[in-house]
Amino acid sequence: MAFSIRPFRDSDADTVFRLRAEAFVTQFFEELGPERCAAGVNAYMPSDYLRMATEMKFFIAEDTGIPVGFYTIKRIDESTAELLFIYVSTKYLRQGIGSRMIRHSEEWIRSNWPGVGTYLVDTGIPKYNGDFYRRMGFTDAGASACPFPNLPIPALRLSKRL
């Protein structure tokens, strides 16, 4: 695998939509059920990613030029950053791409947002991916919510010191 991570380009918006939708349909359905899955997929359209990419940092993971995942980080305040999205293509799960994106995000934050000492993530599917975040050094930090329009989903917050 010729793996690399690069910044988002506007032409990636459809790919980002597809990668996220694919996870809701194939990975989250059991834990979320149909209504919450539909709300989750519909929460962000490709045009929303284009707008969000002007306010947050989106990165694309590629295997030999083919997008296989993406992640998004958002600065909440001077000392806090949030991992808003992290998605790996279904075919590429459990091949080290998620952990490489987490490491890349932490290096990027240290270099570009040096005031940030707390890194947060909220997950609405903690049974499915809570242990992934714990393996990456996050610890449970209480209840939260994924603010999808019309149907907020209860979430687990995890955090780590950077």
Ligand X SMILES: CC(C)(COP(=O)(O)OP(=O)(O)OC[C@H]1O[C@@H](n2cnc3c(N)ncnc32)[C@H](O)[C@@H]1OP(=O)(O)O)[C@@H](O)C(=O)NCCC(=O)NCCS
Q: Which candidate, 142, 97, 89, places its Cα nearest to that of 120?
A: 142
With respect to ligand X, which residue has the nearer C-beta, 44 or 87?
87
* Binding track, positions 131-160, relative to ligand X; x by CB under 6 A: xx--x-------------------------
Which tokens is 91 given?
A: 């075919």
- DSSP collapsed to 3 states, 26-64: HHHHHHHHHHHHHHHHHCCCHHHHHHHCCCCEEEEEEEC
| Residue 138 C-beta: closest distance to ligand X, Å | 11
Position 95 contacts ligand X (CB under 6 A): yes
Count of residues touching ligand X (by CB under 6 A): 18
Position 5 contacts ligand X (CB under 6 A): no
Position 23 contacts ligand X (CB under 6 A): yes
| Residue 114 C-beta: closest distance to ligand X, Å | 26
Position 105 contacts ligand X (CB under 6 A): no
Q: Which amino acid is residue 123, in one-letter code? A: T
User: How far apart (Å, rounded) are the C-alpha atoms in residues 151 and 35?
Assistant: 9
| Residue 94 C-beta: closest distance to ligand X, Å | 4
Q: Assess contact for 45 and 149: CB atoms under 8 A.
A: no
Position 6 contacts ligand X (CB under 6 A): no
Which range binds ligand X by CB under 6 A, 1-9, 73-81, 108-116, 122-130? 122-130
Position 61 contacts ligand X (CB under 6 A): no
Alpha-helical runs (H) found in the chain: 13-23, 29-42, 46-52, 97-112, 126-135
